[in-house]
Chains A and B, each alone.
Chain A
Amino acid sequence: MFERDYRDMAAGLLMAATGGFVAIYASTQYNLGTFRNMGPGMFPMLAGSVLVFLGGLLAVTAFFRAGPMPKIRISTPIFILASIAAFALLIRNFGMLPAVLAVTLIASLAELKMRPVSLVLLAAGLCLMTWLIFPLGLGLNIPMLRWPF
């Protein structure tokens, strides 16, 4: 427990900052127009301003109350997000097989435990399954293997 709700204070400030950025960016970069005939910038500017207000309100109320300490996981999000990023990097140039293998391998590392046998079985099973479902079953035009060089 914190004496003050620092988690919600940070959340409120982040919200207000995001809203402020949106409102300022929209009103400087895009045409606001008039209320009768609104330009592309008006609605985002209003929405951003509301977000500034709500974020400020959250931060202020959080200042006057005790709050819980958030539990933050570091390694898990890194592995999980890296596995998706690996898919994004591999899919166009190398095809589906390497991409699926990369996702399975990197995502499994998030367990922080190596299970070589089950990992190999899982990867093989997923490759087979995605091949059966996507190119074969649904007729998607995604090559299984590709060599860009």
Chain B
Amino acid sequence: MDILANVSLGLATALTPVNLLYCFLGVFLGTVVGVIPGIGVLTAISLLFPLTFYLEPTTALIMLAGVWYGTGYGGRTASILLNIPGSAANAVTCLDGYPMARQGRAGVALFMTTMASFFGGCVGILVLMLFSPIIASYALSFGSAEYFALMVLGLVAASTISEGSAIKALGMVVLGIIFGTVGMDSQTASARFTFGMLDLLDGLSLIALAMGIFGVAEIIASVRRVDGGEVLDAKVSWASMKPTRDDVKRSWFPVMRGSTIGTLFGTLPGTGPSVASFMAYAIEKRIAGQPERFGKGAIEGVMAPESADNAAEQTSFIPTLSLGIPGSATMALMLGALMIHGIAPGPSLINDQPALFWGLIMSFWIGNVLLVILNVPLIGLWVKLLTIPYHLLYPSVLVFICIGAYSVGYSAFDVWMVVFFGLLGYVMRIFAMPAAPMLLGFVLGPLMEEHFRRAMLYSRGDFATFVERPISAVIVALTFALLVWTVWTGIRRARTRRNTEMDDGLTQS
């Protein structure tokens, strides 16, 4: 059996002491940053990113991935106890989780959502194991034209589906691509946009960029706003976690529906856990027999989004690992970690690096089990973490950002780049420009340019190559349809807004 051989290879990789240690470190830190509001998963991953230079690529990826799905477990703690989402994907959990805590059922909510997260995670990993190799083997026939078209589709989808203005997100993707061209041109070896600075020849540092636009900008926006609030009913004992028979009976179907929704949305670019958990909640509420129970502590309202969140976190690895096309900023950082070690992302990854691919996937099982262990008996520790005041937290994060950026090349220039990107990130926040698409563009930009130039070389400068090749034509058509749909919904939204404004004007006069 092919899959058995792969699974055992993966287990052998994931169970080495070093990989186990970093898997534990990853999920532990993921839980920590998930619990604490004001430090997002991207900040955490960019903080740990410099470490990946000293690790084997497999180990590095296991750790970074652990942070990513670990936050899915930690994030609900603050949602349930504080009514503040620990991370964006857990925002909906506040709606029913906090009322549950106010009814003295915080323990039940925390225990049951851990189980929901675990279930969702397991479904996600199974789908990831089954479908990634299939998609990758299909994509092996792709040429440069297909790749370029696929990257454009991925970036357009990521910008138009996510909330907020599609124009702004697309603009930030292009700005990221432009930042990606800084440095030595890989094909002609001429320096671009270096303005005579030798430090820029190697290109802008991915770490400095991620730390600046996520970590530093997030701190600037959170200082004096986020604070260790009052934790509700901090005593979470074993006895208080025991769900009633009714709770368990009500939870089965929401968890299954949530996992399905999460699995689906995780694979699509631009959607990911936040959209998945929101959709899962909305659907649960719509099909419920008594929708009025929602918002007042309905257990379905926490189970569905939490399972969707974790399923989506796992399946978001499908396009990243099987096609080399990340759907979110976090996945772009994972891809960056691979590229730093000289591993080209793409459909050949699964065949060329079976130990990496299957080891990483098997580490997800181990990580999810570790997370259940970390989250159920140790819940008291995480509740205490919520009481750490932000004014002690953020200077510490800044210190680690500085040392992390410096340690990569022992270069003070990289630290200056953090200042630059921190300022840019804050200015972008003022203008409500999303930062995640910029990181996506930055990581994919150099690959896009390479494939674009190669595709045009093969076609002798004829742009028709992108629509003459059948697969590429389908992808281009999808991209085009997505753009048309975005423009159409944008116009419709503007029109309804104007109409309601006019109605308001009429009723006032």
Which residues in A have some Cβ–Cβ distance to B below 8 Å? 7-8, 10-12, 14-15, 18-19, 22, 25-26, 30-31, 34-44, 47-48, 50-51, 54-55, 57-58, 61, 65, 70-73, 76-77, 80-81, 83-85, 87-89, 91-92, 96, 99-100, 103-104, 107-108, 110-113, 115, 118, 122, 126, 130, 134, 138, 140-142
Which of the candidate stretches B246-254, B278-286, B371-379, B418-426 sits at the interface with the other chain? B418-426
Report how far A130 CA is from B165 CA in the complex, Å: 41
The interface residues of chain A lying within 8 Å CB-to-CB of B392 are 118, 122
- Given the contacts A11-B431, A36-B456, A91 and B395 also touching, CB distance less than 8 Å: no
Q: Say if the beta carbon of B412 comes within 8 Å of chain A.
A: yes
- Contact of B460 with A by CB under 8 A: yes
CB of B168 within 8 A of CB of A103, answer no
Write out the residue numbers on chain B whose beta carbons fall within 8 Å of the beta carbon of A107: 394-395, 398
| Residues from chain A with Cβ under 8 Å of B407 in the complex | 134, 140, 142
Binding stretch for chain A, among B4-12, B219-227, B362-370, B474-482? B219-227
One of B62-70, B126-134, B175-183 contacting the partner: B175-183
Q: Check A47 against B168 for contact (C-beta < 8 Å).
A: no
- CB proximity of B187 to chain A, nearest CB, Å: 8
Beyond the given A87-B415, A122-B392, please list 8 additional residue pairs across the A-B interface where CB-CB is below 8 A.
A19-B174, A37-B457, A43-B449, A51-B171, A57-B167, A65-B494, A70-B430, A88-B412
Q: Is the CB of A142 within 8 A of B406?
A: yes
Complex Cα spacing A116 to B221, Å: 24
- Chain B residues in 8 Å Cβ range of A15: 171, 175
Chain B contacts of A10 at CB under 8 A?
A: 431
**Nearest B residue to A80, CB-CB:** B220
Question: Are A91 and B431 in contact (CB-based, < 8 A)?
Answer: no
B54 — which chain A residues lie within 8 A by C-beta? 138
Please list 22 pairs of residues, one from A and one from B, whose beta carbons are closer than 8 Å in the complex, sorted by A's number.
A8-B432, A14-B431, A15-B171, A19-B174, A22-B178, A30-B190, A36-B456, A36-B461, A38-B453, A39-B188, A40-B188, A50-B174, A51-B178, A58-B167, A65-B494, A73-B221, A76-B223, A77-B220, A87-B415, A91-B412, A126-B399, A134-B403
Q: Residue A76 contacts which of B187, B193, B220 (CB distance < 8 angstroms)?
A: B220
Assembly CA distance A10 to B427 (angstroms): 12
Contact between B461 and A81 (Cβ–Cβ < 8 Å)?
no
Does B508 have its Cβ within 8 Å of any Cβ on chain A? Answer: no
CB contacts (< 8 Å) of B401 on chain A: these are 84
Is B488 positioned at the interface, with any CB of A under 8 Å from its CB?
Answer: no
A90 to B, closest residue via Cβ: B412
Q: Which residues of B contact A (CB under 8 A)?
A: 51, 54, 165, 167-168, 170-171, 174-175, 177-178, 181, 185, 187-188, 190, 192-193, 216, 219-221, 223-224, 391-392, 394-396, 398-399, 401-403, 406-407, 410, 412, 415-416, 418-419, 422-423, 426, 430-433, 445, 449, 452-453, 456-457, 460-463, 494, 497
Closest to A113 in B: B391
Contacts of A65 in B (CB 8 A): 494, 497
> Distance in Å from the Cβ of A41 to the closest Cβ of chain B?
8
CB-based contact A142/B167 at 8 Å: no
Top 3 A-B pairs, shortest CB-CB distance: A36-B461, A88-B415, A35-B461
The binding surface of chain A is classed by DSSP as helix
Known A8-B431, A91-B406, A91-B412: A58·B168 in contact at CB below 8 Å: yes
Q: Could you say which residues of chain B place their CB within 8 Å of the CB of A84? A: 216, 398, 401-402, 415, 418-419, 422
Which listed residue (A14, A73, A110, A126) contacts B396, Cβ 8 A?
A126
A103 touches B181 (CB 8 A): no
Chain A residues contacting B190 (CB-CB under 8 Å) are 30-31, 40
Residues of B within 8 A of A104 (CB): 395, 399
Measured CA separation A39–B180 after assembly (Å): 16
> Do B431 and A77 have beta carbons less than 8 Å apart?
no
Question: Which residues of A are found within 8 Å of B167, using beta-carbon distances?
Answer: 12, 54, 57-58, 61
Inside 8 A of B174's CB, which chain A residues have their CB?
Answer: 19, 47, 50-51, 54
Give complex CA distance A44, B497 in Å: 37
Question: How many angstroms from the CA of A61 to the CA of B223 in the assembled complex?
Answer: 33
Give complex CA distance A51, B175 in Å.
Answer: 7
Query: How far apart are the CA atoms of A52 and B174 in the complex, in Å?
Result: 10
User: With a CB–CB cut-off of 8 A, which chain A residues contact B398?
Assistant: 80, 83-84, 103, 107
Closest to A112 in B: B224
Residues of A within 8 A of B165 (CB): 8, 58
Please measure, in the bound complex, the distance between the C-alpha atom of A19 and the C-alpha atom of B432, giving whole angstroms.
19
Asked whether A7 lies within 8 Å of B431 as measured between CB atoms, the reply is: yes
Known interface pairs A50-B174, A65-B494, A88-B412; A103-B422 also in contact (CB < 8 Å): no
Known: A30-B190, A30-B192, A122-B392. A80 touches B410 (CB 8 A): no
Q: Is the CB of A81 within 8 A of B178?
A: no
A45 shortest CB reach to chain B, Å: 10
Q: In the bound complex, what is the Cα–Cα distance between A34 and B460 (angstroms)?
A: 10
Please state if A40 and B185 are interface contacts (CB–CB under 8 Å).
Answer: yes
- Give every chain A residue within 8 A of B406 (Cβ-Cβ): 87, 91, 142
Task: Give the residues in chain B near A126, CB-CB below 8 Å.
Answer: 395-396, 399
Taking a contact as CB atoms under 8 Å apart, the answer to whether A111 and B181 are in contact is: no
Q: Is the CB of B432 within 8 A of A7?
A: yes
**Given contact pairs A18-B175, A61-B167, A87-B415, A44 touches B181 in the complex (Cβ within 8 A):** yes
> CB < 8 Å: which of B391, B418, B497 contacts A115?
B391
Which residue of chain A has the shortest Cβ distance to B422 in the bound complex?
A: A81
Q: Complex Cα distance A85/B423, Å? A: 12
**How far does the Cβ of A108 sit from chain B's closest Cβ, in whole Å?**
6
The reply to whether A111 and B391 form a contact with Cβ atoms under 8 Å apart is: yes
Q: Chain B residues near A108 (CB, 8 Å)?
A: 391, 395
Tell me how far the C-beta of A134 lies from the nearest C-beta in chain B, rounded to whole angstroms.
Answer: 6
CA distance A41 to B181 in the complex (A): 10
Chain A residues with CB below 8 A from B177, complex form: 47
Q: Out of B192, B396, B463, B494, which one reaches A40, CB within 8 Å?
A: B192
